[in-house]
Amino acid sequence: MKKSFVTLLLMVSVLNIANGQFTGMGGGLSLSSGFHFHEQSIGVNKSSFVGISFKGICKISTPFYISPSFTFFYPHINNGEISKQTITAMMFDINGHWILNPAERFQFYGLTGFNILFANNKITSTGVPSFKESDNTLGLNIGAGTFIKITEILDIFGEAKLLFNNRYNQFILNAGVFINIEKKIKHEKTE
């Protein structure tokens, strides 16, 4: 049931993006409150707080955009005396952005959407085979963000969002650079 729901969600999102107009892409840094793998609140069992993110924007109608994104969190490695534990995580988001003031230099938007988080735990010990386990979960995002126009083509962005799911709730901050592909193409045609 869960796999069918995820597949249906991805198909609907891809169709919406295909019907929209791809207007830009960018990337930057992500900061997270982190999570404990399998909700075991041992200090060494926590995910990393820092990651890199990539994001795209597809225009559906003037104030409404779809934004797929991918975030990879740097592995959190804990070296013990006889073992090493590595927690890795990555996530895919499909968010809807509602731009509150589309014609302004500082654009503010609300966001809501879906999130799929993948987490892995690997423990290696001397003289013992490695132990690996993975987990994934489907969640919801809610938050807000801003685009600040630096040039006609280049923006910087920042967003804050809460990720809700059944195991790995987090608070995430994203910031980075965004290229307006739609305006870049128009600018190149006028030259």
Residues 48-59 pLDDT 10s:
889 999 999 998
Number of CB atoms found within 10 A of residue 40's CB:
10
In single-letter form, the type of residue at position 28 comes to: G
Least confident stretch, 84-88, 123-127, 131-135, 161-165: 123-127
Asked whether the predicted pLDDT for residue 41 surpasses 90, the reply is no
Asked whether the predicted pLDDT for residue 71 surpasses 60, the reply is yes
Number of CB atoms found within 10 A of residue 101's CB:
12
Bridge partners of 177, per DSSP, are 27, 156
Closest to 67 measured CA to CA, from 165, 123, 145: 145
In words, the CATH class of domain 2-190 is: mainly beta
**How far apart (Å, rounded) are the C-alpha atoms in residues 42 and 74?**
19
